[in-house]
A = this chain, B = another copy of it.
Amino acid sequence: MNFTSIQNIDFLDKWVKQALKIKKKPLKNKKLGKNKTLVMLFFNSSLRTRLSTQKAAINLGMNVMVMNFGSEGWTLEYEDGAIMNQGASEHIKEAAAVVSQYADIIAIRAFAGLTDKEKDNAETVLSGFLKHATVPIVNMESATGHPLQSLADAITMAEHKTQHRPKVVLTWAPHPRALPQAVPNSFVEMMQLQDADFVITHPEGYELNPKITKDSKIEYDQDKAFENADFIYAKNWSNYKEYGQITNSDPNWTVTADKMKLTNNAKFMHCLPVRRNVIVTDEVIDSENSIVIEQANNRTYAAQVVLQKILKNGK
């Protein structure tokens, strides 16, 4: 089995329960990964994902080998039939097949380039590995999804929800740099598997890929969206229609204490790293209702439930 998308989760509730069990006894399955090797390939920088995924593997007794393509490696070619007389020195066909021989599981981080919508939607890097690798693949954030993050989010919400069907709001917030849609995409897909009153709020024109949002509710009035919310999940993303552009940086979308007052004493969530006083004010993120640190903690258990399932199920 692979874990490249929220779609790979069969029963989200079950996965969340297993993760919470793992969280209580993280070393219980330390023998499961014995003599198994996780190779982590980074095409982009990483802090939380790097450390939490590695920690999860260590908790399972796995060996970990890390490869940073940026500083330690080279550019790959993804196109079939390419005449490789330019920058790329290796084709994904060889790279994926070769690394598979040294690994029991390959985990990959490769962000959206945000310049070529079609290429990003095609998930060039991840798809290349899926096609040509011979071992299971784990997505550590790809061009269009970050399912390990959203699984950690689901775990965190399960720990903090006080009613069966909470109101969960994903709110866009401004950011000085153009960011991918990977995190909101996977969050939306994950919420679609949950029993919740789920609302997405963002400025008009900032609609995510409609193939992902499907019939999820969109509310352009942030205040209205916040009303009675149990969870506020803030995240910036760049424009999907005017692909990769920043067409709005309205500070009125920053999550403030005043806005949080509209909610049902909502918990504040963010995947981190977060720009303080741009995405959210200090007052909100430093409040008791902020659960961003716990979200990051749960990254380990999200990764561990995924690795554990792969180790148990094999390819």
Contact = CB atoms under 8 A, between A and B. Distances in A.
A102 B56 CA distance: 9
Contact of A90 (B35, B42, B273): B273
Contact of A297 (B45, B68, B91, B101): B101
A67 interface: yes
B90 A296 contact: no
Contacts of A272: 90, 94, 98
Contacts of A273: 74, 89-90, 94-95
A282 interface: yes
A46 interface: yes
Contacts of A71: 45, 68, 70-72
B276 A77 contact: yes
A212 interface: no
Indicate the member of A77, A80, A95, A102 with the most B CB atoms within 10 Å: A102
A301 B101 CA distance: 11
Contacts of A117: none
Contacts of A37: 55, 58
B46 A274 contact: no
A85 B296 contact: no
A122 interface: no
Contact of A85 (B35, B77, B176, B300): B176
Interface in A80-101: 80-86, 89-91, 93-95, 97-99, 101
Interface string A42-69: 1001111011101100100001010110
A98 B293 contact: yes
A315 interface: no
27 contacts: A27-B35, A45-B71, A46-B72, A47-B74, A47-B95, A48-B98, A50-B67, A51-B65, A51-B102, A51-B103, A54-B65, A70-B71, A71-B71, A74-B273, A80-B282, A82-B276, A84-B277, A85-B176, A85-B275, A89-B177, A91-B274, A91-B276, A93-B286, A98-B293, A98-B296, A101-B297, A101-B300
